[in-house]
């Protein structure tokens, strides 16, 4: 049997293999991760709904099961984001009024993971209503980044990112509406995949975004390795034994082993034309492009079309109800501090709201003016107009890929390394690097690449915009933090995205500055 202290550093695929070969028991695997939890979680607050006694009982049952009854994740401990229903536990999405309301049954995706043999250790933290790139709420408090506790692990699936990076869990499931698995992966130095929008059912994932069908939330795996992402995705996207969700197209899952990097046409960009990425992010993308070229891919620079316009439409669609759904769900419950200013602004008289963008523009706050002008309540006619604009933009974006016959795209996942706590309320509209792929619906993932080097923290100079100043403050002292690279592929071609990510993982893991493990 392997030493317990080593198991919490092994990826889920490796643990499954050890259990299958009889070298490690499921109980040992679970106990190893519980020991790690006891050591680091008090400083991180990543797993916020533990179910350790049940997990140990399930591990004993897994060890007693006949070999013929074992699934691909047999006996492997995992975690899931708090929003997903797990029988006997609450799915509060950070709302105080939902505390003490346990789910009666597992969400379909949770049920699939458990049928495959996975053992759920617990549920992980998130932002209230899953609204921003941090993981803090009035129910469970704040989650810290295992690389630097003064920084956020990202959000809204930041609890998953922190749990996996710190060794509390080898594999997890989050959800992604605008980067919510990919940003935590980048901030924490782990891997994540957002499948094609609509690929996986979101039944049983809380109703925070249920009314928003113009833009779809999507479940996605988070893990220590790309091979773990592929293993989990194959389980999550397998044909359903339960009644099929009619909104999920029955598209077959393809494995990445048949994909050769040589001959793929891959575009890359360091800057999306909206918000400049920091030096380490740009370097990571350049190195990724060079590595793929060395492997025989045809690599060319891409200028993504009108990202600011896509972000404007995205924000308009998301806020078209003026926040009514948000306030309805919050009810009389406690608000996270980041929500309070949004609520005050949303409830200002409409003439004052209309005056904000030009006033911010005069104050040289271009990005905040853009955000204020892009959000707010819409008439039905204006909402339909945004839907028409979305359709035109998607066609425009795909035409840009078609002109260069691109199979995949490599770019930054975020403009900066991990944010300091609270910065999301000041940083403003900076999520376009990930949001773009939610908006067009393409699969996209993040793989760890490097760490910020001393002397390359920031090159933002002399800019009056408050978002640039906040980005510069985030970049200050960021040396040593992990940096990820984002890979997107054509619709339904998760296999291509995973193949490119695996190639980059092999390249970057051989480098001395690869973020192989946080200091926590």
Active-site choice (156, 175, 278, 458): 156
335 and 139 Cβ atoms separated by less than 8 Å: no
Strands of 218-223's sheet in order across: 47-50, 119-124, 77-81, 171-176, 218-223, 191-194, 444-451, 482-489, 408-411, 265-268, 298-301
Distance from C-alpha of 155 to C-alpha of 93, rounded to nearest angstrom: 12
Under DSSP, the state recorded for 96 is G
Q: How much of the chain is in helix, strand and coil states, percent to nearest 5?
A: 40, 15, 45
Active site residue 257: no
Tell the residue number behind the tokens 């975690």, with chain if given: 79
Distance from C-alpha of 388 to C-alpha of 378, rounded to nearest angstrom: 14
Active-site choice (91, 127, 157, 180): 180
Tell the residue number behind the tokens 């918000």, with chain if given: 275
Look up residue 352 and give its two tokens.
Answer: 């004052």
Q: For the chain, what is the radius of gyration of the CA atoms?
A: 22
In sequence order, which residues have a C-beta less than 8 Å from that of residue 255 and are 6 or more positions away? Answer: 230, 234, 495
Three-class secondary structure of residue 9 per DSSP: coil
Active-site choice (8, 81, 175, 458): 81
**Other Cβ atoms within 10 Å of 107 Cβ, number:** 24
- The DSSP-derived string for 194-250 is E-STTSS--TTS-STTTT--SS--EEEEEESSHHHHHHHHHHHTSPPSSPPPTTS--
473 and 458 Cβ atoms separated by less than 8 Å: no
16 and 76 Cβ atoms separated by less than 8 Å: yes
Active site residue 225: no
Beta bridge partner(s), residue 471: none
**Other Cβ atoms within 10 Å of 359 Cβ, number:** 12
Distance from C-alpha of 289 to C-alpha of 343, rounded to nearest angstrom: 43
What are phi and psi for residue 310, nearest 5 degrees?
A: -60, -40
Active site residue 180: yes
Three-class secondary structure of residue 31 per DSSP: helix
Look up residue 188 and give its two tokens.
Answer: 């924490």
Catalytically active residues, by annotation: 81, 156, 180
């Amino acid at each position: 049997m392997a030493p317990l202290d080593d198991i919490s550093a092994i990826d889920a695929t490796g643990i499954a293999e050890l259990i299958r070969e009889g070298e490690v028991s499921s109980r040992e695997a679970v106990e190893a991760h519980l020991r790690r939890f006891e050591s680091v979680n008090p400083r991180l607050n990543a797993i916020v709904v533990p179910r350790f006694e049940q997990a140990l009982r399930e591990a004993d049952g897994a060890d007693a099961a006949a070999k013929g009854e074992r699934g691909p994740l047999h006996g492997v401990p995992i975690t899931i984001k708090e929003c997903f229903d797990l029988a006997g536990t609450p799915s509060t999405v950070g709302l105080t009024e939902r505390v003490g309301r346990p789910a009666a049954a597992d969400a379909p995706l949770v049920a699939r993971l458990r049928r495959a043999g996975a053992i759920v250790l617990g549920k992980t933290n998130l932002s209230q209503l899953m609204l921003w790139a941090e993981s803090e709420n009035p129910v469970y408090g704040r989650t810290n980044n295992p690389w630097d506790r003064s920084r956020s692990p990202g959000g809204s699936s930041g609890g998953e990112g922190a749990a996996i990076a710190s060794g509390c869990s080898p594999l997890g499931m989050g959800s992604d509406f605008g980067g919510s698995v990919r940003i935590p992966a980048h901030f924490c130095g782990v891997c994540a995949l957002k499948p094609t929008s609509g690929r996986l059912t979101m039944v049983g994932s809380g109703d925070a975004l249920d009314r928003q069908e113009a833009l779809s939330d999507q479940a996605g795996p988070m893990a220590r390795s790309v091979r773990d992402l592929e293993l989990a995705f194959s389980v999550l996207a397998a044909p359903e034994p339960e009644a099929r969700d009619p909104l999920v197209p029955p598209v077959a899952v393809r494995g990445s082993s048949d994909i050769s990097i040589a001959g793929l046409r891959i575009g890359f960009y360091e800057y999306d034309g909206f918000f400049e990425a920091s030096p380490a992010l740009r370097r990571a993308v350049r190195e990724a492009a060079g590595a793929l070229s060395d492997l025989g891919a045809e690599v060319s620079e891409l200028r993504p079309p009108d990202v600011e316009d896509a972000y404007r439409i995205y924000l308009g669609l998301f806020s078209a109800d003026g926040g009514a759904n948000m306030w309805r769900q919050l009810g009389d419950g406690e608000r996270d501090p980041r929500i309070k200013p949004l609520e005050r602004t949303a409830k200002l008289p409409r003439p004052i709201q209309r005056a904000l963008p030009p006033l911010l523009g005069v104050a040289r706050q271009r990005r905040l003016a853009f955000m204020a002008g892009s959000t707010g309540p819409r008439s039905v006619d204006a909402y339909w107009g945004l839907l028409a604009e979305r359709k035109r933009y998607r066609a425009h974006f795909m035409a840009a890929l078609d002109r260069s016959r691109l199979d995949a795209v490599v770019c930054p996942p975020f403009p900066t390394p991990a944010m300091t706590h609270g910065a999301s309320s000041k940083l403003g509209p900076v999520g376009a690097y990930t949001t773009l792929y939610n908006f067009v619906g393409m699969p996209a993932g993040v793989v760890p690449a490097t760490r910020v080097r001393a002397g390359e923290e920031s090159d933002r100079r002399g800019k009056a915009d408050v978002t640039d100043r906040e980005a510069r403050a985030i970049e200050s002292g960021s040396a040593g933090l992990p940096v990820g690279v984002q890979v997107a592929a054509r619709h339904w071609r998760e296999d291509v995205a995973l193949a490119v990510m695996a190639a980059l993982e092999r390249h970057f893991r051989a480098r001395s500055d690869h973020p192989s493990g946080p200091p926590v």
